[in-house]
Amino acid sequence: MRRRSVAAQGIALGVTAIIVWWLARNTTATLDQHGISLGFGFLRQPANFEIGDAPIAYSPADSFVRAILVGLANTARVSVLGWVFAVLLGFVLGVLRLAPNSAVRGVARTVVELVRNVPLLLLLFFLIAAMHALPPTRAALELLPGVFISDRGLVLPSVDLRAWSIDRPHLVGFNFVGGLTISPELTALLAGLVLHHAAHISEVVRGAVIAVSQRQRDAASALGMSRAQVMRFVVIPQALRAMVPLLATNCVSLTKNSSLAVAIGFPDFVSILNTTANQTGHAIETMLIMIVVYLTLSLGVAGAMNAYNRRLLRPGA
Amino acid sequence: MLSATVAIVVLAAAVPLARWALIDAVWTGTADDCRAATGACWAFVAHKLGFIVFGLYPPAERWRAAVALTVLAGLIVSTALPRFWRRRTLTGWAVGLTMGFWLMHGGLGLARVPTRLWGGLPITLMLTTLALALGFPLGVLLALGRRSRLPVPRTLATTFVEVVRGVPLIAVLYVAALVIPFAMPRGLEIDKLFLAQCAIVVFASAYLAEAVRSGLQIVPRRQYDAARALGLSAWQVHRLVILPQALRVVVPSFVSIAVGFFQDTSLVVIIALFDLLNTARFAAQDPAWLGFHAEAYVFVGLIYFAGSTLMSQYGLWVERYLRAGPAGAQASRQGRIRNDNT
């Protein structure tokens, strides 16, 4: 028995090795034929392409490394904003879906079902088309006082930290002066990601709240707690613990989904790597960078969640 | 009071929507008729319907794509019914898929249609179905491998599953489209649609593997030992004792994976394939019909919505069916059997 399993494993290992060797041999042959050599040296060359939306200083004369860092910064920016708003909206929707009023529940449920049952990419295409169909800046719509939306994007009031004042944007000629401008692509991407993941998070929230047993609520009510107190002191603390791993999974998947930016023209990490691969022909190296970065993120979060679960399971925690 | 407020808000949103979509909509006519009206331009969707559903497939041959689509849909629907849960259905699939491929691809008396002209709903449905149908057996193998006591299968399966689940589907599609052609022998050109299908199968297998593994965890180890003690071989134990119990438990996660993949096949847009979403987007870019994005996306959105909702509802039904059998599924739907979890 033991000898047989050792032999079988040896064969499996051998077959895997042969496949890998075959792929590697073909790759070297193809690379030779195209005159490309493997290596990351090309990253130091100037990128020579424009990036529309750069949160850190960048010009086309900068290296590919710099361009990729811009992409990474954009992905980080979308992720962090996306996590915050998706979790907030997800909580609101999740709580509304448990509201005592059936009309409120119905509306929340309709929103969640609508979003959950269409592809995220469709939502993004729809939103970017809607952004481009908005009126031009001089006829921008004022959503809230100081918040404008036009085909050039979203303009928000910004806080000037040095003067401790709020900088409200105003229209001068054809453009806005002051405030913070968010490009149409970033607006559509964020709105789509937040809606999609909030719908999924609302299910997590709802599930976690329902999972707290009715007996505990009854016991808490019997102690004289109000509905709000039961929620605040009994249900939410327990539900939160059950939610954390699922919320983390959702946040990681939001970051992975932010790679759909490439389809609507927002220069995120994946989109810049794709441009780099097309311009230099170094597809293998760029894909390797992509895989390593995403794996680091996913495995890092998975490790943190395992540690969190161990801590919860520890007696006295 | 609160209900009344909600009703007013809902009406304030629903009335303009209904006016746009139904009352002021243009159902027949030209782009100019639509521009003159304030409502939705369904005439545009009607005009582009063939393209949105079948993509670049030659219009004279579209009947073939339509028949192939019907065959595939028929296979899916009949497989969903418990009365077809038998071995002979597999033969049906083999015959149906061969026929569908012949109809789409041509040869043997039909004109050849290269895969770069395939598109629309047949592609979306094919990518989804094959992803699940081929990803499932792979996923079971990976899950068993990951739980194996032997180090080699365990390491290989774990690495594969973790790497694939750790990266976005776009990365897998890019690797398939940009890197795999490098790794093939010289002169061998691989079909892009085939590569995309392989990428989606690989991606699906990793997610299905994790679902199966969570099911395997609920079967106690002593059942394995007991079955081995009765003289069953390792394969028999898995086939007859472990998997039937494990797979039953994971039906809900299978359904959500299936719905997810139905929607995620739309990512093949990234490598320029014409699935249902891309045909709609392309149709809306026609210079003769500019400005009707909303109509195109609402239309395909409804198709995705209907498909996803049907799958979810079927999932709930099949879950009850597996728990209680045919009579139980009927009864619990009528509310006679109450379930503790809900």
pLDDT tens-digit map of A85-107? 999 999 999 989 988 888 899 99
Tell me the sheet residues that pair with B120.
B275
Whether A84 maps to a domain, the answer reads yes
Tell me the sheet residues that pair with A149.
A141, A154
Residue A283 CB-half CA count within 13 A = 19
CA–CA min distance B199, chain A (Å): 14
Asked if B3 and A116 come within 8 Å (Cβ–Cβ), the reply is no
Whether B243 maps to a domain, the answer reads yes
Q: How confident is the model at residue A141 (pLDDT cuts 50, 70, 90)?
A: confident
Q: Answer yes or no: do B168 and B210 share one domain.
A: yes
- The whole-angstrom separation of Cα B301 and Cα B284 is 14
E strand or H helix that includes residue A67 = helix A64-96
Decide if B249 contacts B316 (C-beta within 8 A): no
Domain final residue, candidates B287, B303, B324: B287
Contacts of B274 in chain A (CB under 8 A): none
- What one-character-per-residue DSSP string does B222-288 give? HHHHHHHHTT--HHHIIIIIIHHHHHHHTHHHHHHHHHHHHHHGGGGGGGT--BHHHHHHHHTT-GG
Q: Judge whether residue A197 has pLDDT over 60.
A: yes
Q: Answer yes or no: do B152 and B246 share one domain.
A: yes
Whether B89 maps to a domain, the answer reads yes
ipTM of the complex: 0.89
Q: Answer yes or no: do B82 and B133 share one domain.
A: no
Average pLDDT over residues A193-204: 95
Decide if A63 contacts A43 (C-beta within 8 A): yes
Contacts of B270 in chain A (CB under 8 A): 262-263
Q: Judge whether residue A52 has pLDDT over 60.
A: yes
- The whole-angstrom separation of Cα B80 and Cα B293 is 35
Q: Which residue has the higher pLDDT, B331 or B129?
A: B129
Asked if A120 and B263 come within 8 Å (Cβ–Cβ), the reply is yes
Asked if A256 and B156 come within 8 Å (Cβ–Cβ), the reply is no
At B4-62, the pLDDT tens digits run: 888 898 888 888 888 888 888 888 888 888 888 888 889 888 889 999 999 999 999 99
Q: Judge whether residue B117 has pLDDT over 70.
A: yes
Q: Answer yes or no: do B170 and B240 share one domain.
A: yes
Whether A52 maps to a domain, the answer reads no
Decide if B223 contacts B232 (C-beta within 8 A): no
Q: How confident is the model at residue A316 (pLDDT cuts 50, 70, 90)?
A: low
Give the range of the structural domain holding residue A279, as residue numbers without chain letter.
64-117+192-313
Whether B50 maps to a domain, the answer reads no
Give the global pTM.
0.90
Contacts of B168 in chain A (CB under 8 A): 256-257, 259, 270, 294
Asked if B179 and A287 come within 8 Å (Cβ–Cβ), the reply is yes
Q: Judge whether residue A273 has pLDDT over 90.
A: yes
Give the amino acid at B327: A
Whether A26 maps to a domain, the answer reads no
Q: Where residue A73 sits, what CATH number does that domain have?
A: 1.10.3720.10
Q: How confident is the model at residue B341 (pLDDT cuts 50, 70, 90)?
A: very low
Whether A98 maps to a domain, the answer reads yes
Residues 6 or more apart whose CB falls under 8 angstroms from that of B219 comprise B241, B242, B245, B246
Q: Judge whether residue A154 has pLDDT over 70.
A: yes
Q: Judge whether residue B332 has pLDDT over 60.
A: no
Q: Judge whether residue B230 has pLDDT over 90.
A: yes
Asked if B163 and A290 come within 8 Å (Cβ–Cβ), the reply is no
Q: What percent of chain B has pLDDT over 70?
A: 95
Residue of B nearest to A16 (CA): B156
CA–CA min distance A159, chain B (Å): 33
CA–CA min distance B307, chain A (Å): 8
Q: Answer yes or no: do B128 and B243 share one domain.
A: yes
B179, B184, B297: residue with CB nearest A122? B297
- The whole-angstrom separation of Cα A21 and Cα A97 is 55
B contact test, residue of A38, A111, A118, A214 with most B CBs within 10 A: A118
Q: What is the pLDDT of residue B342?
A: 34
Asked if B294 and A102 come within 8 Å (Cβ–Cβ), the reply is no
The closest of B252, B307, B254, B310 to B276, measured between CA atoms, is B307
CA–CA min distance A6, chain B (Å): 9
Q: Is the dihedral of CA A75, A77, A78, A80 positive or negative?
A: positive
Q: Answer yes or no: do B94 and B243 share one domain.
A: no
Asked if A133 and B3 come within 8 Å (Cβ–Cβ), the reply is no
Q: Where residue B250 sits, what CATH number does that domain have?
A: 1.10.3720.10
Q: Which residue has the higher pLDDT, A179 or A88?
A: A88
- What one-character-per-residue DSSP string does A143-178 give? EETTEEEETTEEEE-EEETTTTEEE--EEETTEEES
E strand or H helix that includes residue A142 = strand A141-144
Contacts of A102 in chain B (CB under 8 A): 3
B175, B186, B269: residue with CB nearest A33? B186
Q: Answer yes or no: do B138 and B241 share one domain.
A: yes
Q: How confident is the model at residue B84 (pLDDT cuts 50, 70, 90)?
A: confident
Residue of B nearest to A10 (CA): B152
Q: Answer yes or no: do B147 and B266 share one domain.
A: yes
- What one-character-per-residue DSSP string does A199-257 give? HHHHHHHHHHHHHS-HHHHHHHHHTT--HHHIIIIIIHHHHHHHHHHHHHHHHHHHHHH
Domain final residue, candidates B78, B97, B113: B113
Residues 6 or more apart whose CB falls under 8 angstroms from that of A26 comprise B182, B183, B184, B185, B186
B6, B270, B297: residue with CB nearest A263? B270
Q: What is the pLDDT of residue B337?
A: 42
Tell me how many domains chain A contains. Answer: 1
The closest of B21, B23, B22, B44 to B33, measured between CA atoms, is B44
At B279-325, the pLDDT tens digits run: 999 998 888 888 888 899 999 999 999 999 999 999 989 888 887 76
Whether B5 maps to a domain, the answer reads no
Q: What is the rounded average pLDDT for all residues in chain A?
A: 88
Contacts of B171 in chain A (CB under 8 A): 259, 270, 287, 290-291, 294
Q: What is the pLDDT of residue B331?
A: 53
A23, A102, A126: residue with CB nearest B297? A126
E strand or H helix that includes residue B289 = none
Asked if A101 and B2 come within 8 Å (Cβ–Cβ), the reply is yes
B151, B181, B293: residue with CB nearest A129? B293
- The whole-angstrom separation of Cα A83 and Cα A117 is 21
Whether B301 maps to a domain, the answer reads no
Q: Answer yes or no: do B281 and B136 share one domain.
A: yes
Q: What is the pLDDT of residue B340?
A: 39
Whether A32 maps to a domain, the answer reads no
Whether A27 maps to a domain, the answer reads no
Whether A233 maps to a domain, the answer reads yes
Decide if B235 contacts B190 (C-beta within 8 A): no
Q: What is the pLDDT of residue B186?
A: 79
Residue of B nearest to A291 (CA): B167
What the block records as the tokens of B32 is: 């100019």
Quickly list H helices, B81-176: 88-105, 121-147, 151-166, 169-174
Tell me how many domains chain B contains. Answer: 2
CA–CA min distance A277, chain B (Å): 9
- The whole-angstrom separation of Cα B135 and Cα B206 is 8
A8, A24, A291: residue with CB nearest B167? A291
A9, A103, A262: residue with CB nearest B7? A103
Q: How far, in Å, are A97, B190, B254 from residue B243 at the CA level?
A: 36, 36, 14
Whether B160 maps to a domain, the answer reads yes
Residues 6 or more apart whose CB falls under 8 angstroms from that of A159 comprise A165, A166, A167
Give the amino acid at B148: S
Q: What is the pLDDT of residue B258?
A: 94
At B209-227, the pLDDT tens digits run: 999 999 998 888 899 899 9
Q: Answer yes or no: do B106 and B71 share one domain.
A: yes
Q: Note every long-range contact of A161-166, with CB atoms under 8 Å and residues 24 or more positions apart, other chains counting.
A: none
- The whole-angstrom separation of Cα A137 and Cα B200 is 42
Q: What percent of chain A has pLDDT over 90?
A: 44
Whether B153 maps to a domain, the answer reads yes
Residue of B nearest to A20 (CA): B183
Q: Judge whether residue B270 has pLDDT over 50.
A: yes
Whether A44 maps to a domain, the answer reads no
Q: How confident is the model at residue B335 (pLDDT cuts 50, 70, 90)?
A: very low
Residues 6 or more apart whose CB falls under 8 angstroms from that of A288 comprise none
A125, A256, A295: residue with CB nearest B281? A125
Residues 6 or more apart whose CB falls under 8 angstroms from that of B256 comprise B312, B315
Q: What is the pLDDT of residue A317?
A: 47
Q: Alpha carbon B224 to chain centroid distance?
A: 34
At B132-188, the pLDDT tens digits run: 999 999 999 999 999 888 888 899 999 999 999 999 999 999 999 988 988 888 778
Q: Answer yes or no: do B158 and B101 share one domain.
A: no
Q: How many CB pairs under 8 A join A and B?
A: 141
Domain final residue, candidates B287, B309, B324: B287
Give the range of the structural domain holding residue B278, as residue numbers without chain letter.
121-287
Q: Answer yes or no: do B174 and B255 share one domain.
A: yes
- The whole-angstrom separation of Cα B157 and Cα B132 is 18
